[in-house]
Amino acid sequence: MKRVFVDTSGWYAYARSDEPAHDSVREALELWEGRLVTTDFVFDETVTLARARLGSAHAERIGETLLDPGVVELVRLLPEDFEDAWSLFKKNKDKGWSFTDCSSFAVMRRLRLSGAVATDRHFKQAGFELI
């Protein structure tokens, strides 16, 4: 089965109808014929951002959706993912990648995922296709 990674920027754009990328992200997620994959670190970042900008009730709805295995495959970082992410973080000082970005890249490489639903350029900089 095909799988695509979804970043915090993708989840947030999907949740906010007033986000510039909302329509394109919504279309990408709703038309995807496969599994949506995200990580525990992206979960943390997404619900934290949603609580800060949208309020607790909205953050909880988003969190429950991301925790639903029928909707999302939630991948937990392994110790080797963490080490790979730290290495990427240190090596790519010039790119402005967050540690969460680097952890996503490490997991995507481990799972051999080539594409991501994201609105930032970091995934493309890291060699992944933006969906």
pLDDT in tens, 72-121: 999 999 999 999 999 999 999 999 999 999 999 999 999 999 999 999 88
Q: Whole-number mean pLDDT of the chain?
A: 95
pLDDT at 17: 86
Q: Is the pLDDT of residue 10 over 90?
A: yes
Q: How far apart are CA 3 and CA 10, in angstroms?
A: 15
Please name the CATH architecture into which domain 3-130 falls.
Answer: 3-Layer(aba) Sandwich (3.40)
Per-domain residue ranges for the chain? Answer: 3-130
Q: Find the helix or strand (DSSP H, E) in which 35 lies.
A: strand 35-39
pLDDT band (50, 70, 90) for residue 16: confident
Query: Could you tell me which of 57, 56, 65 has the C-alpha nearest to residue 11?
Result: 65
| 104 Cβ contact partners less than 8 Å away, ≥ 6 residues apart | 5, 7, 39, 41, 42, 116, 123
pLDDT band (50, 70, 90) for residue 2: very high
Q: How far apart are CA 79 and CA 39, in angstroms?
A: 13
Q: Find the helix or strand (DSSP H, E) in which 85 lies.
A: helix 79-91
Q: How far apart are CA 62 and CA 39, in angstroms?
A: 14
Other CB atoms within 10 A of residue 74 CB: 16
